Amino acid sequence: MQAMNAAVPAAADDWPAQVEWLRAQTSVAYPEALAFMEERVARIAEGHARELVWFLEHPPIYTAGTSAKESDLLEPRFPIFRTGRGGQFTYHGPGQRVAYVMLDLRHRRKDIRTFVHALEEWLIATLAEFGIKGERRRGRIGIWIADGSQEKKIAAIGVRVRRWVTYHGVSLNIAPDLSHFSGIVPCGVREHGVTSFADLGVAASMEDVDRAVRRTFTRAFP
């Protein structure tokens, strides 16, 4: 299967040569993205392809991870896809940057908890580039913002590992329609909300965010 849409070449010599960067130019249907990831993961595991970080957007969908509870599906407003990633229900849609991360932990550190911690560090560093203070919360997956008296989620994490090659990844809310999250309990957390760059009054294009994500990559994945 060919990579969907155009590759975006690295623009700095210090980015890891083994990592390829792709950015989809149009919205990618979830089944197509999953098929591409599974094929790429197999090729990486066999030593036939480089590691890959893939930027894309999906049409409005809900995805359910391996820990998803049916009671957290409040209103099936959009297509629902059951996935093999960790986590619970989440939403993907226009205005949200999804980054699927296919790294070979055999050549890094064979520790999934360390990998997830690095994803969190990556997201926090990216948010800091825009003056947003992202934080971890004990017992909650993803990255959170203290918005007045309420905490809101701005980034989600859901991963799977096959033959020590990672896939799925992270999603960062730039300017999605936040009302679309109302059909689910995002990540099973009922007492907190969701937010985005736009909701926080931070103006940033998807290209701005992509550049920041790439700049901060080696801080989390040296």
123: left (phi over 0), alpha (psi -120 to 50) or beta: alpha
Residue 131, classed as helix, strand or coil, is coil
pLDDT of residue 117 exceeding 90: yes
pLDDT of residue 7 exceeding 80: no
Question: Mean per-residue pLDDT for 167-189?
Answer: 91
In this predicted structure, what is the pLDDT of residue 204? 97
Closest residue by Cα to residue 146 from 157, 138, 137, 156: 137
In this predicted structure, what is the pLDDT of residue 51? 97
- The radius of gyration of the chain's CA atoms, rounded to the nearest angstrom, is 16
pLDDT of residue 213 exceeding 60: yes
Handedness of CA 65, 141, 180, 4 (dihedral sign): negative
Residue 173, classed as helix, strand or coil, is strand
Of residues 6 and 87, which shows the higher confidence score?
A: 87
At residue 188 the predicted structure's pLDDT band, cuts being 50, 70 and 90, is low
Catalytic residues: 187
In this predicted structure, what is the pLDDT of residue 123? 98
Q: Which of 25-29, 134-138, 149-153, 196-200 has the lowest mean pLDDT?
A: 149-153
First to last CA, the chain: 29
Which domains are delineated in the chain?
19-220 (3.30.930.10)
**Average pLDDT of the chain, as a whole number:** 90
- 149-162 in b/e form (b: 16+ CB < 10 A) is eebbbbbbbbbbbe
